[in-house]
Amino acid sequence: MEVKTLLGDYLEAHVYVIKKGGECLIIDSGAKLDKVKVAVGTDKVVGILLTHGHFDHSCYCNDYAKEFNAKVYANENIKTTMTDPVAIYSEDYSTIDDFSHFEFIKGDGKIKIGGFDISCYYCPGHSVCCECYVIDNIMFSGDVLFENGIGRTDLKNSDKKQMFESLCKLENVKFDKVYSGHGGTSDYAFQMKNIGVFKRFLSREFKQ
């Protein structure tokens, strides 16, 4: 499996193009379509996965869906974020309300898109609609886990206790490597330390 990393147009959010056997998955949609088309090349896009609904990760999702004739897969709570001019965190308070291309994921589970077997983990805390995905032992964590941190919990629809519970869940997930929504990559051993540090920090916060 090949993972191509593209830099998005807002807040340096990442878009990932995952290639295997002539098929592609796209994770998040913050990079302009032309850049994504170059990365896709002649492969067939079988789906677009959104890690959450903040604008820097979701803004071009319907453009991708129309161009590649592919479904957008996202947590069922993403509507709450994308239709709210505050919660979506777009620069001009614009929202997204066309969900005709969407297939909604309910919590944790396994899905198959084309030749890709995907494990989905519902991980609210940074937002109410965060999903982490594990594909071939690689985790795509969006803004839940970063190379040296976790997602902010001071935004609309963020929640420190939910983030703590999500970190507890991810502590029990097996993976080799993490591709985050911003910044660099990290491995399992590093993230176990990272998660431990922030669990202790968050538990102090929400117990106050």
Per-residue pLDDT of the chain (208 residues; tens, 9 = 90+): 899 999 998 889 999 999 999 999 999 999 999 999 999 999 999 999 999 999 999 999 999 999 999 999 999 999 999 999 999 999 899 999 999 999 999 989 999 999 999 999 999 999 999 999 999 999 999 999 999 899 999 999 999 999 999 999 999 999 999 999 999 999 999 998 888 888 887 877 655 4
Report H helices in the chain.
33-40, 55-58, 61-68, 78-82, 160-170, 188-207
Indicate which CATH number applies to the domain containing 176.
3.60.15.10
In the sheet with 131-135, reading across from the earlier edge strand, the strands are: 109-113, 116-122, 131-135, 138-142, 177-180, 186-187
| pLDDT given at position 205 | 66
Strands 149-150 and 145-146: antiparallel
Nearest to 140 by CA among 44, 32, 13: 13
Q: How many domains does the chain have?
A: 1
Angle between helices 61-68 and 33-40 (to 10 degrees): 40
| pLDDT given at position 206 | 59
Beta-bridge partners for 112? 117
- Model-level pTM? 0.94
| pLDDT given at position 10 | 86
Contact 65, 100 (CB under 8 A): no
| pLDDT given at position 4 | 96
Residue with tokens 């896709």: 40
| pLDDT given at position 172 | 92
- Which distant-in-sequence residues (6+ apart) come within 8 Å of 10 by Cβ? 30, 55, 56, 59, 91
Identify the domain containing residue 94 by its residue range. Answer: 2-207
Please report, for residues 9, 114, 132, the alpha-carbon distance to residue 76 in angstroms, rounded to integers and kept in the order given. Answer: 25, 21, 13
CA torsion through residues 48, 104, 147, 19, sign: negative
CA torsion 195-11-125-122 (nearest 10°) is: -90
Q: How far apart are CA 202 and CA 153, in angstroms?
A: 10
Kindly state the tokens that stand for 188.
């399992």
